[in-house]
Amino acid sequence: MGMTHIVDRRLNGKNKSAVNRERFLRRYRHHIKKAVSEAVHRRSITDIERGENVSIPSRDIEEPVFHHGQGGKREMVHPGNQEFVAGDTLPKPQGGEGGQGQGQASPDGEGMDEFAFQITQEEFLDFLFDDLALPNLARKKLKDTEAFKYVRSGFSTQGIPSKLDVVRSLRGAHARRLSLGGARKRKLRELQEQLAALKSAPADLDAAFSHDDQIKALEEEVARLKANIRRIPWIDEIDLRYRQHVKQPQPATSAVMFCLMDVSGSMTQTHKDIAKRFFILLYLFLKKNYKKIDVVFIRHHTSAKEVDEEEFFYSRETGGTIVSSALKLMHKIIESRYSPEEWNIYAAQASDGDNWNDDSPVCGKILADQILPLVQYYAYVEITPQDHQMLWYEYEKILATNPNTFAMQQIADAGAIYPVFRQLFERKAA
């Protein structure tokens, strides 16, 4: 007795299985990547706040051991006999499947063959971006935001009428009136009492001793005091108090993200999938910095159109390409809905580099003159393994003159998305 030792282990770490779990995910990364890929296809780019359900065919994760097969002769003992006696026979079920108590299939005949589990958002993102751990994007500020917020910081004697604090000003005036007028009023009361006393006293017969002179002098004094008191202003300039505010730099909490994409015939679904991942990354990045994010999708071929996400990624178009149409539309949308004072504007443009040659200089001009002054950052990704075309060279000129707000990179395949994203956004790292 007394040989028992009781230990509280609850504070010891849980997650002892974390490594084994990680090993499991590692082993089945191909399955998981596939599930993640499908999920990306299915999900909206703003829907990245959760993990994903993954299922793997059970046979793929089985740990095989030697065991008995079907057939032969076997005997099993079971409990709960009701009416059997030795020698009874029972028909075998059709299909030849084994003995009693075996193979309870799920009602729909499915689901038993799948090993299903959940991966976390973090793991989801890891798999999404090719196993590369996402750095802490929050620490990287693109550019100091220029919005400010005024916060109260006491009162001041100077200010504009709209900041006047009436209650506080009147209280000050009252105090001033009291302090300035108080002594005089007391004096006035005394004089008036004396005056009243003199007036009510019986008049002396001797004129030489009459009170008239005294009364007259007192009356003059009273009149003077009254005028004095009357001259104390009811409210004076020095009574006025204004609410004081100081400017505190405040990151604007709203951002708008423009996704521009070429949907002309030359952009394949693979191109679009790469673009989608890029847009997701940008969204994730902004999400860490801003409370509210609007996403505007502009797709274009020869003309541009603002569309919803579904149409943006999955509808097909044919024909040529005029990139400037999208830039013009973007500018129009900014002017009408997203004032740069209130919104942090980001834009990502994805294209295979194809453009109608005469249009490329127009693009450069619109970007440099109209759009770049309004946006925090504009990133251009060219999804092509091939040589560049006119648009690329035009954009290179812009890069030279606007290195802080403009960035461009080429993505050859899905594996390069993340590194390219990092290059694009690292440059501005604080």
DSSP 8-state code for residue 164? B
Q: Which of 47, 60, 111, 116 touches another protein by CB under 8 A?
A: 116
Beta bridge partners of 380: 349, 408
Q: Per CB under 8 A, which region of 98-106, 144-152, 345-353, 389-397 contacts another protein?
A: 98-106
CA-to-CA distance for 96 and 109, rounded, in angstroms? 17
Output the smallest distance, CB 133 to another protein, in A: 17
Output the smallest distance, CB 279 to another protein, in A: 31
Say whether residue 86 binds another protein (CB under 8 A).
yes
Give the H/E segment covering residue 299. strand 292-300
Q: Per CB under 8 A, which region of 115-123, 170-178, 236-244, 410-418 contacts another protein?
A: 115-123
Q: Which is nearer to another protein, 109 or 161 (CB)?
A: 109
Q: Which is nearer to another protein, 88 or 341 (CB)?
A: 88
Q: Under a CB-based contact definition with an 8 Å cutoff, are residues 329 and 306 in contact?
A: yes
Beta bridge partners of 14: none
Token readout for 303 is 């003309």
Say whether residue 5 binds another protein (CB under 8 A).
yes
Q: Which of 42, 49, 89, 95 touches another protein by CB under 8 A?
A: 89
Say whether residue 90 binds another protein (CB under 8 A).
yes
Output the smallest distance, CB 110 to another protein, in A: 17
What mask, x for binding another protein by CB under 8 A, covers residues 410 to 429?
--------------------
Q: Per CB under 8 A, which region of 95-103, 170-178, 203-211, 273-281 contacts another protein?
A: 95-103
Q: Which is nearer to another protein, 77 or 160 (CB)?
A: 77
Say whether residue 75 binds another protein (CB under 8 A).
yes
Q: Which of 42, 69, 208, 227 touches another protein by CB under 8 A?
A: 69
Output the smallest distance, CB 78 to another protein, in A: 4
Say whether residue 68 binds another protein (CB under 8 A).
yes
DSSP 8-state code for residue 371? I
Say whether residue 174 binds another protein (CB under 8 A).
no
Phi, psi of 345 (to 5 degrees): -105, 125
Token readout for 352 is 């295979």
Q: Which is nearer to another protein, 79 or 202 (CB)?
A: 79
CA-to-CA distance for 125 and 300, rounded, in angstroms? 29
Residue 375: CB atoms within 10 Å: 21
Residue among 64, 63, 56, 65 nearest 113 (CA): 56
Q: Under a CB-based contact definition with an 8 Å cutoff, are residues 147 and 241 in contact?
A: no
Q: Which of 42, 72, 200, 430 touches another protein by CB under 8 A?
A: 72
Q: Say which amino acid occupies 116.
A: A
Q: Say which amino acid occupies 141.
A: K
CA-to-CA distance for 419 and 135, rounded, in angstroms? 11
Give the H/E segment covering residue 174. helix 166-200
Say whether residue 49 binds another protein (CB under 8 A).
no
Token readout for 305 is 């159109």
Binding site for another protein (CB under 8 A): 1-10, 12, 14-17, 19-27, 61-82, 84-92, 98-101, 104, 115-118
